[in-house]
Copies of this chain bind each other. A is one copy, B any other.
Amino acid sequence: MNLQTRSQHACFGGRMGFYAHAAQATGTEMRFAVYEPPQASARKLPALYYLAGLTCNEETFVIKAGAQRLAADMGLVLVACDTSPRGLNLPGDADAWDFGVGAGFYLDATAQPWAGHYRMSRYLNEELPALVEANFPVRSDRRGIFGHSMGGHGALVNALRNPQRWHSVSAFAPIANPVAVPWGEKAFSNYLGSDRQQWEAWDASLLMRARPYPGLMLVDQGLSDQFIDNQLHPQALQAAADASGQKLELRLHEGYDHSYWFIQSFIADHLRHHAAILGS
């Protein structure tokens, strides 16, 4: 497997790095970021994968969330991937900020022209961990996943679909019931086609009702989030947990919005949640 190092920087006694590789799942170059805490020089550590939201890329989380200080304390490797393939110039892939480039929704598209390239779920579940585990000091038996907004959806859905691959999961302000909101309807109708039954396989609330995740889910949501009513629907997740017996800690925070100011305020609780399950 090829791996191109774009840059590396000393950070909290460890290493912040930016990488690229030719990805089979997407047929494009994909970029990702890895923070290796100081403990990584001595032994293999658990890896925690972060999925960013609409318009973001592999840099967003590592620049804005203030997570490295905590990961260095806790002995967690952080991995952040991009939000979609880039550079394909498929028709319509750059017309909107909530679809196409920067908006891959962490699923595997089945409709044309997206099916051959927008396979972010395959990328995230198989190709990226294989690459990371072959090239960085991380354990393959201890993986966590979390994310924000579209990336919160991605974290919940991929953990629910592949609980054997993701040993811990959490989310900030996830799109919790995408089949019922405009962002999800737009993405799913294009990526998956018009048969709404196909969409259910990528909806956290619906997946959870059918088969809960075998562990505690931590979800934080700001009550001043401008997208809470139209796009996020945390109450659907709570209802699904109530119906299915899913262990869910859904925390609603007065005054917090959808931004990384919100994420950084609660990132420590998320890293502790993952570290408690994954070890360090």
Contacts and interface: CB of A to CB of B under 8 A. Distances in A.
Interface of A: 9-13, 16, 63-64, 66, 68-69, 222, 224, 253, 255-257, 259-262, 264-265, 268
Contact of A9 (B69, B253, B261): B261
A121 B168 CA distance: 51
A264 B69 contact: yes
A260 B68 CA distance: 12
A9 to B, nearest CB: 4
Interface centre among A66, A255, A256 (most CB of B within 10 A): A66
5 contacts: A9-B257, A10-B222, A16-B261, A63-B260, A68-B264
A262 B11 CA distance: 6
Contact of A265 (B12, B224, B253, B256): B12
Q: How many copies of this chain does the complex contain?
A: 2
Contact of A11 (B10, B12, B16, B265): B265
Contacts of A66: 66, 68-69, 264
A261 B253 CA distance: 29
A64 B67 CA distance: 11
Nearest to A68: B264
A115 to B, nearest CB: 37
Given A63-B63, A63-B64, A64-B63, A262 B12 contact: no
Nearest to A267: B69
Nearest to A265: B12
Nearest to A254: B10
A78 to B, nearest CB: 13
Contact of A257 (B10, B222, B260, B262): B10
A206 to B, nearest CB: 31
Nearest to A255: B10
B10 A261 contact: yes
A117 to B, nearest CB: 31
A181 to B, nearest CB: 23
Nearest to A256: B10
Of residues A16, A256, A264, A265, which shows the largest number of chain B Cβ atoms within 10 Å of its Cβ?
A265
A172 to B, nearest CB: 14
Nearest to A222: B10
